[in-house]
Amino acid sequence: MNNQTHTHIVKSHDEERKRLLEEIMRMGEMAASQLEAALDVVQRRDDKAAERIIANDEAIDALELQVSHDAMALAMRGPLARDLREILAALRIASDIERIGDYASNVAKRSMALNMAPPLPHTRGLRSVGELVVEQVRDVLAAYRDGDADAAQRVRARDAEVDQQYTGLFRELLTYMMEDARVITPCTHLLFMAKNLERIGDHATNIAENIWFQENGEAPLPPREKRDGTIPAR
Q: Give the residue from 36, 56, 32, 48 showing the smallest Cα distance to 127.
A: 36
Q: What predicted TM-score, i.e. pTM, was given to this entire model? A: 0.89
pLDDT score of 80: 72
- Beta carbons within 8 Å of 56's beta carbon, 6+ residues apart: 30, 34
Q: Give the residue from 98, 56, 63 showing the smallest Cα distance to 203.
A: 98
Is 192 domain-assigned? yes
Is 112 domain-assigned? yes
pLDDT score of 11: 59
Is 223 domain-assigned? no
Is 102 domain-assigned? yes
List Cα–Cα distances, 165 to 27, 139, 177, 195, 198, in angstroms: 27, 19, 18, 11, 9
Is 231 domain-assigned? no
Is 161 domain-assigned? yes
Contact 224, 234 (CB under 8 A): yes
Is 99 domain-assigned? yes
pLDDT score of 10: 53
pLDDT score of 37: 98
Rounded CA separation 208/115 (Å): 35
Q: Centre a 10 Å sphere on the Cβ of residue 147 and count the other Cβ atoms it contains.
A: 13
pLDDT score of 2: 53
3-class SS at 43? helix
pLDDT score of 9: 47
Domain extent, residue 51, equals 3-216
pLDDT score of 79: 65
Is 228 domain-assigned? no
Number of separate domains in the chain: 1
Contact 192, 75 (CB under 8 A): no
Contact 114, 186 (CB under 8 A): yes
Per-residue pLDDT of the chain (234 residues; tens, 9 = 90+): 455 444 444 557 788 889 999 999 999 999 999 999 999 999 999 999 999 999 999 999 999 999 999 998 888 876 676 788 999 999 999 999 999 999 999 999 999 999 999 999 989 999 999 999 999 999 999 999 999 999 999 999 999 999 999 999 999 999 999 999 999 999 999 999 999 999 999 999 999 999 999 999 877 777 766 555 443 433
* Alpha-helical runs (H) found in the chain: 3-44, 47-75, 81-114, 123-146, 149-157, 159-179, 184-216
The CATH number covering residue 106 comes to: 1.20.58.220
DSSP letter assigned to residue 180 = -
Question: What is the number of residues in the chain?
Answer: 234
